[in-house]
Amino acid sequence: MSQNITLSLQDVRDLSLSVLTQNGYSPQHAQAITDVIYACQLDDCHSHGLFRLFMCVETMRSGQVDGHATPTLTEPGPAVVKADAHKGISLLALNEAMPKLIEKAKTQGIAALAVNNCFHFSALWPEVEMLSAQGLAGIAMVPSHAWVAPAGGTRGTLGTNPLAFSWPRLGKDPFTFDFATSQFARGEIELYRRAGKALPEGVAIDRNGNPTTDPTAAMEGAMLTFGGYKGSALSIMIELMAGPLIDDLTSIESMAAANGNAGAPYHGEIIIAMNPEMLSGGKVAGNDDRAERLFADIIDQGARLPSQRRYQARSQNLKRNAVEIPAQLYQDILKLKD
């Protein structure tokens, strides 16, 4: 059984910042990355918390990412912002473009941000919750690498392609979901492999196209989409919207661009921000009784809203000013400083 250790919240930030700066990321990039890694670890999102430092370091050590890239912004239309990450990690470009996206959605009713030419390793809920914190509804999507077979297929064509959505709720945590369109995120399969645990049935096939519960065989073969052909179609939509629509790479192209190197996939991201006040003709101003009745009906029957586990974890971890991670993970992260 793997043992856990306790890290203070400040330890989490310091560990992430020191690993990233010692591995070639500028202080600005290291800070932008750390903010998201910290937010995920605080919420017990283990597949995209401190564990993702390995991916950030691999991307740097394989010479792919520019740890000092300076993002540039353009505004090709009144409701469109484009942020070119110039081969940096997505997050600095995203942070610099967000105020423009928010301003445009507030004045135009709906606006889109395309982040191009970025390495992307992170969870998407932090970006859509930046929008809901401003009273906007938001959707974000990215491709990844061609690890996932389409429904009925036998080899990786699609990415794990996460889809995130956040809806603002006055005085309450927003309604947010954020999930891979594969049965499992790749990071989750990596965590199963580290823990020596078998996957559930229905998550992956091996390189011969046979069902497997072995995480290593799954990573060498192909992962499966959630919801059969429905998840497969959603995943294809994400390929198109965060790929050709914004003139960036699909998961197949991203994998080819990596040329066998490990690390974060290189592609684009699309984020769409919507202003409920404007789109409802002034009826929804930050809080909507009808949306609240919908949530109440879900909760009343004993179901839970997505992200509820995450908000509870955040509240507990903030209270004790600490998080728990596997001791072996901590030891392995320390080795990234060597």
* Choices 129-137, 176-184, 246-254, 284-292 (CB under 6 A): range interacting with ligand NDP: 176-184
Between 27-42 and 125-132, two packed helices, what is the crossing angle to 10 degrees?
90
DSSP class of residue 151? T
Residues 12/324, Cβ–Cβ less than 8 Å: no
Q: How far is CA 49 from CA 16, 176, 262, in A?
A: 10, 18, 18
Give the up-direction half-sphere exposure of residue 56: CA atoms within 13 A in the CB hemisphere.
34
**Among this protein's residues, is 48 annotated catalytic?**
yes
Mark 220-238 as b/e (b = at least 16 C-beta within 10 Å). Answer: ebbbbbbeeeebbebbbeb
CB of 271 to ligand NDP, least distance (A): 13
Strand stretches in 108-152, DSSP E: 110-119, 137-141, 148-149
CB of 127 to ligand NDP, least distance (A): 10
Residues 27-56 interacting with ligand NDP (rule: CB under 6 A): 45, 47-48
Q: Sketch the per residue contact string, 115 through 134, with ligand NDP: x for CB under 6 A, - otherwise.
A: -----xxxxxx---------
CB of 126 to ligand NDP, least distance (A): 9
Q: Distance between alpha carbon 181 and the CA centroid of its chain, in Å?
A: 12
Would you say how long the chain is, in residues? 338
CB of 58 to ligand NDP, least distance (A): 14
**Among this protein's residues, is 46 annotated catalytic?**
no
**Among this protein's residues, is 188 annotated catalytic?**
yes
Question: Whose Cβ is closer to ligand NDP: residue 309's or residue 335's?
Answer: 309
Residues that bind ligand PYC (CB under 6 A): 47, 121, 144, 160, 180, 185-187, 265
CA pair distance 34, 237, nearest whole angstrom: 30
Task: Considering the candidates 96, 188, 239, 253, report the single residue annotated as catalytic.
Answer: 188
Q: How far is CA 51 from CA 47, 93, 117, 134, 140, in A?
A: 6, 22, 23, 29, 22
CB of 179 to ligand PYC, least distance (A): 10
Task: Considering the candidates 29, 46, 48, 267, report the single residue annotated as catalytic.
Answer: 48
Q: Which of ligand PYC, ligand NDP, none does 150 bind, CB closer than 5 to 8 A by kind?
A: none
Residues carrying an active site annotation: 47-48, 188
For ligand NDP, the binding residues (CB under 6 A) are: 45, 47-48, 120-125, 142, 144, 160, 162, 164, 177-180, 184-185, 187-188, 304, 306-310
